[in-house]
Amino acid sequence: MERKRIAIVGIGLIGGSMALQLNANGIASNIIGVDASPAHLQKALALGLIDEAMDLDKAIANCDVIALAIPVDKMIEILPSILDKVNDKQVVFDMGSTKHLLIEAVRNHPKRKRFVASHPMWGTEYSGPEAAVKGAFENKAVVICNASDSDEDAVAMVRFIYKKIGMHQIEMDAYAHDLHAAYISHISHITSFALANTVLEKEKEDNAIFELASGGFESTVRLAKSNPNMWVPIFRQNRDNVLDVLNEHITQLKKFKACLEKENYDYLLELIENANKIRRIIK
């Protein structure tokens, strides 16, 4: 396939990592960065993530493909106006963590079919262009949602890009995606935020506690460093699913609490043995 001019809107953790992969795989002839932050654009140029910085309208006018990697509330705000400006050859796709409301927002847009909704399942707790990671998406899953609502050539282009950067692809309805994302990604962030707040609450009384922080603690709490401006809109857009999972999680925690209160250590052993079944899933 001929190399494409690709605009990346939002040149932070996800957009920057995508830029690195596109560069490494020879998919793009030019990578154009668009970002609300001039400092981010300067950094992205300095790091060699992008070839050129442009404002959004100029980037739309000059690119074959427009990839969106901005917080999901901003995504809903600007996707309709981007679609207003694309022609029947251009392709727009997003890389956000929620899908249903975004797809709803452009359901009746005359250019809906030029848009492909996707979610590459990778991230870290860091943000900004300096957080970009080379090879980040390799061997990870990407979900493509409601593909039948997009033009075939647009889906083919997005599939081509994700294939070239090494992701395995899953098609899924937007509702199913959002439910699964709540279980696989969103709840992990809430538990980490809450665990950090639990320990920080304690730290007020006792500073010595952190001299001891160990590997297990770092691993479970590292997501608590994640950017609130990215995560509040995700939780907001996926509120019902996140609430369901959070209620289930609190129920599960209360089982551990009840075991300890009642000194029922046989049941505690059972709960942990059941949790061990996660070995089937994560190696």
Checking DSSP bridges between strand 115-120 and strand 141-145, what pairing results, if any?
antiparallel
Q: Toward a copy of itself, which CB reaches closer, 153 or 203?
A: 203
Q: Toward a copy of itself, which CB reaches closer, 56 or 141?
A: 141
φ/ψ of 198, rounded to 5, equals: -60, -50
Q: Toward a copy of itself, which CB reaches closer, 39 or 260?
A: 260
Round to whole Å and give the CA distance between 16 and 40.
Answer: 10
Residue 81, H or E segment: helix 72-85
The one-letter amino acid code at 265 reads Y
Task: For the CB of residue 110, give the shortest distance to a copy of itself in the complex, in Å.
Answer: 32
Residue 51, H or E segment: none
Task: For the CB of residue 116, give the shortest distance to a copy of itself in the complex, in Å.
Answer: 18
Q: What is the 3-state secondary structure (H, E, C) of 134-155?
A: CCCCCCCEEEEECHHHCCHHHH
Task: For the CB of residue 159, give the shortest distance to a copy of itself in the complex, in Å.
Answer: 17
Round to whole Å and give the CA distance between 28 and 129.
Answer: 19
Task: For the CB of residue 95, give the shortest distance to a copy of itself in the complex, in Å.
Answer: 13
Which residue is associated with the tokens 């279980």? 183
Task: For the CB of residue 22, give the shortest distance to a copy of itself in the complex, in Å.
Answer: 21
Q: Toward a copy of itself, which CB reaches closer, 89 or 168?
A: 168
Q: Toward a copy of itself, which CB reaches closer, 6 or 230?
A: 230
Q: How far is CA 137 from the centre of its chain?
A: 11
